[in-house]
Amino acid sequence: MSDSFENAVNVLTQAKKAVALTGAGISVESGIPPFRGKGGLWEKIDPMKYAHIDAFLEDPKTVWDVLIKNMKTVLDKAHPNAAHTGLADLEQLGILQTVITQNVDGLHQRAGNRDVIEFHGSFARMHCQSCDWAIETAQVDLSEIPPRCGCGGFLRPDCIFFGELIPHEALFRSQQVSAACDVMLVIGTSATVQPAASMPFIARDNGAVVIEINPEPTSLTQRISHLPLMGAAGTILPRLVGTIRQRLATP
Ligand code: NAD
Ligand code: ZN
């Protein structure tokens, strides 16, 4: 076992208010492709063309056809994987306090984490772009694309498009918990999307140990990660939890 792994076990075993920042990579093993990197959605479509608010306002039908309908099909089939469960276990053990996720898939809540900040919103709900009327995504009638609200406006997911602001409460709470945590676990994020990517910097500046789990190096790996663990989250997290459990059971 690597020194980083051993050190990560030691640090987490002592931790009382760890925070996890997760990105699309933690859900790859649930069958949800990331945006960037190998097999990523951006290899197939241009984000500025389909995931920008201006694109939706100009041509909601195309954005629904190319992006939103596909996301719904993929998310409908997904279940939490061993990495999501590992984070729920860390909460149960009294080590992890909060998950800040850039994902919109709801898998952390389904795995059992109770304090999840959805930094970019959620795909589980939709609202009307014109009047804000809201509905569960599962209840949306897809016989007409784009689906419409009773007022005539178009429905859209509760997640933010490029060009839109992070919900104020999510940003504020994320900054607070990042500044107060003793360990920050950065899992499956390329750390390129701001302001989510600034959370590990806030944590480190306030004295937290930064543990990064990713099969590829990121912009954080050399610059601020104290303990980089290279590999798939679905392999590393259960291994970490198993070793921590043994450690806690041995007086
Ligand atoms: P990203 O697509 O930019 O990067 C994904 C990262 O995950 C990469 O660094 C990659 O090396 C890593 N990765 C791949 N497989 C992994 C694995 N098995 N274990 C751990 N890491 C793995 O993702 P991002 O940084 O989250 O930014 C993309 C944006 O797209 C986010 O803002 C998010 O809102 C959105 N998004 C969400 C979902 C989802 O809800 N599941 C899916 C795609 C994109
Ligand atoms: Zn409406």
Both 70 and 190 in one domain: the answer is no
Both 145 and 24 in one domain: the answer is no
Both 181 and 233 in one domain: the answer is yes
Strand 96-101 with 155-159, pairing: unpaired
Query: Nearest residue CA, atom 15 of ligand 1?
Result: 25
Among 22, 36, 220, the mutation site with the greatest number of ligand 1 atoms within 8 A of its Cβ is 36
Q: What is the DSSP string of the chain?
A: --HHHHHHHHHHHH-SSEEEEE-GGGGGGGT---SSSTT-GGGTS-HHHHSBHHHHHH-HHHHIIIIIHHHHHHHHH----HHHHHHHHHHHTT-EEEEEE---S-HHHHHT-S-EEETTEEEEEEEETTT--EEEGGG---SSSS-B-TTSPBEEEEEPPBTSPPPHHHHHHHHHHHHH-SEEEEES--S-STTGGGHHHHHHHTTPEEEEEESS--TTTTTT-SEEEES-HHHHHHHHHHHHHHHHH--
Euclidean distance between CA atoms 95 and 244, whole angstroms: 10
Count of structural domains within the chain = 2
Both 64 and 178 in one domain: the answer is no
Query: Nearest residue CA, atom 16 of ligand 1?
Result: 25
Q: Is 10 exposed, middle or buried (0-12, 13-18, 19+ CB in 10 A)?
A: middle
Both 9 and 86 in one domain: the answer is yes
| Domain housing 137 | 37-77+124-158
Question: Choosing from 120, 127, 168, 226, which is the catalytic residue?
Answer: 120
- For the record, the structure tokens of 90 come out as 């860390």
The closest ligand to the CA of 187 turns out to be 1
* 132, 158, 184 - which closes a domain: 158
What's the confidence (pLDDT) of residue 193?
85
127 in active site:
no
Give the mean pLDDT per block of 10 residues along the chain (251 residues).
91 98 97 77 74 95 92 94 98 98 98 97 97 96 95 97 94 98 97 92 98 96 95 98 95 70
What's the confidence (pLDDT) of residue 142?
92
Single pTM value for the model: 0.94
Both 61 and 173 in one domain: the answer is no
Residue reference for tokens 């984070």: 87
Q: How far is the CA of 32 from the centre of ligand 1 (A)?
A: 9
Euclidean distance between CA atoms 181 and 45, whole angstroms: 37
